[in-house]
Each structure stands twice: as structure tokens, then as C-alpha cells.
Amino acid sequence: MGSIDEEVITIESLLEQGPELSSLPEVYLRVTELLDDSCATVYEIGEAVQTDPAISTRILTMVNSAYYGMPHRISTISQATALLGRDRIKQILIGSVLVNLFADPEIESFSLKDFWLHSIKTAIIAKQLAIQSGDVSDSDALFIAGLLHDTGSLVLADKVPLLFDRVYHLRRKLGLLAAEREVLGFDHSELGEALMTRWGLPELLVTCTGHHHDSGYNSTYASSVRLVYMANELSHHLPPLDEGEALELLRDIDNWQLAGIKVDQICLACQLAEEQVFDVMESLGMINMVVRGE
């Protein structure tokens, strides 16, 4: 029997290729259960997180990074939970867990550093647009939606690198989604949506992942999906320096007006992403990746 790259694959068969795709790590499941339990104390949450020293360290590093701008150093998970709230700790936790799940596939058509640069810039832009729009109450959830939106591409590069290479070369002719459907029979958005569902993540994250290329999306969580769509498109470009440059950039983004964002807000969100992206990468333990890639 040939390798998976040589077989006809489906989303379901692909998600059976490794234990990390079956479910999120036990520490994530245990801690999120406590975070959802109003009777659990911040000390119990802290003790559960600290059973995994790597994740505990990464969460504290992120909480104390320039991105969060805390006035005093936070030294314990229980303190971080009390100050930031359970929802934000849950979001930091998934980000901390995610960066450990996949190794660099080391194929010419994929750069793990570039993948995370794009994902984090998308996350920052999505959060900033949410803050400015006023249509989305939980801007931190939009950060995680932006961080996760391309996870399907990461799975493809990791699990079927030869097919990923074929898509990479065909995308220049057909466009990304059409190339994926030609080679695989599905696209990375569908794969990511299925993975988020399998992991039992909130429906908001599932929906934003599955529809982040859908410029006309108008169903459940429409406001959030539109902002993640916008952030994904914007993160591929250098930040516009003024409204004139922003308008020039927006001409190539279908239905950008549906997001309800003003041009000056787009400029600000993009510039903040450019300023903060390496702080966030460092806080997630990616600084060595950046140094190696330079």
C-alpha cells in the first residue's frame, strides 16, 4: 500500500493520520473544563495548567508580553486568570497548545515561520477590527479565530506534503481554493472546519475557520466571519500608510464594505499588526523560529 500522498484521500481519512488530530492535548481538555466550571477556583485552574510546565511557561510569557501590556509582572497562572478572566486564559491556552502540535514539514513550498507570521498578523488585525467595529463583543475570540483560520493548510503541509506541493504549483493557474479542490477534492477551509469540530472548539471558531474565504458570508456569526475574512486578506499586504494606500489595497478585496469598517480603522489595525506581530511570536515561544528564518 502506498503512502497517503499516493492515495485518494478524504477529510476523514486525513484527520485519522495522527493522534494530535484526534483530540487536543489532555491538559487543554482538563483546564478548559475547569475554566467552564464556575465553582472551580483560580487556584485549581493554576494547578491544572502547571502539570504541563511548557504550556504554563508559555502562558505566563504571553501574559507578560508587550502585547498584553500588564502594568505589573504576573507570576502565577491563578493570578493571570484572576486578572485577565477565564475566557481570555482559555484563548491564550489554545494558542499556546497549537504551536506545539505541528513540526515544520521542511518542504520547499511551505515555511512554518511564514505560516505563523500570516496567522498572527491575521489574528491581531481581526482583534483590532473587532474592537473598532463594535459589532463583535468578544474581540479576544476574534484573535483566536484569526490564529486558527488556516490550520487546514498546516495539516496539509504536515500530513500530505507531496499533494501540498502539487497544490502550490497549480494555485498560480487556478487560484488556491480551486487548486486544492482539483488535487484533493476539498479545500483547506473545509479541512480546518472539520478539525475544529473534531476538537470540540466553540462554534464561532469553527464557522470562522470554514468561511474565512467567503466574501459574501451572511449567516451565523456573520460579523465575526467578515472581520476574519478581511483580516486574512489584509495580512497578505504591507500595512497601508494612509487612506489613499488603503483604498488602493481594498479595490482587490471583494465585499470589504460588508465588514462595516472605516478606512482609517483598517489602516490602524494593519499598522498595529505590523508593530505587534513579533511580540506575539515571542510570547508564543516562536522567537527561535524567527531567528532561524532570518
* CATH assignment of 104-294, among 1.10.3720.10, 3.30.465.10, 3.30.360.10, 1.10.3210.10: 1.10.3210.10
85-115 pLDDT, tens digit per residue, is: 887 788 778 877 787 777 777 788 999 889 9
Q: What is the pLDDT of residue 59?
A: 81
DSSP letter, residue 65? S
Residue 61 burial (CB count, 10 A): 15
Residue 210 burial (CB count, 10 A): 22
Q: Model pTM?
A: 0.88
CA 1 to chain CA mean position, Å: 35
Ranges of CATH 1.10.3210.10 domains, the chain: 104-294
Closest CA to 279 of 80, 121, 92: 121
**Helix axes of 53-63 and 42-49: crossing angle, nearest 10 degrees:** 120
* Cell output for 132: 473598532
Cα–Cα distance, 13 to 2 (Å, whole number) = 14
The pLDDT tens digits along the chain (294 residues) read: 344 555 678 999 999 887 778 788 888 889 989 998 999 999 999 999 888 887 888 788 878 877 778 888 999 999 988 888 887 788 778 877 787 777 777 788 999 889 999 999 999 999 999 998 877 778 888 998 999 999 999 999 989 999 999 999 999 999 999 999 999 999 999 999 999 999 988 899 999 999 999 999 999 999 999 999 999 999 999 999 899 999 999 999 999 999 989 999 999 999 999 998 988 887 776 755 544 444
CA distances from 9 to 101, 143, 176, 202 (A): 22, 31, 18, 27
Residue 201 burial (CB count, 10 A): 18
* Cell output for 60: 505566563
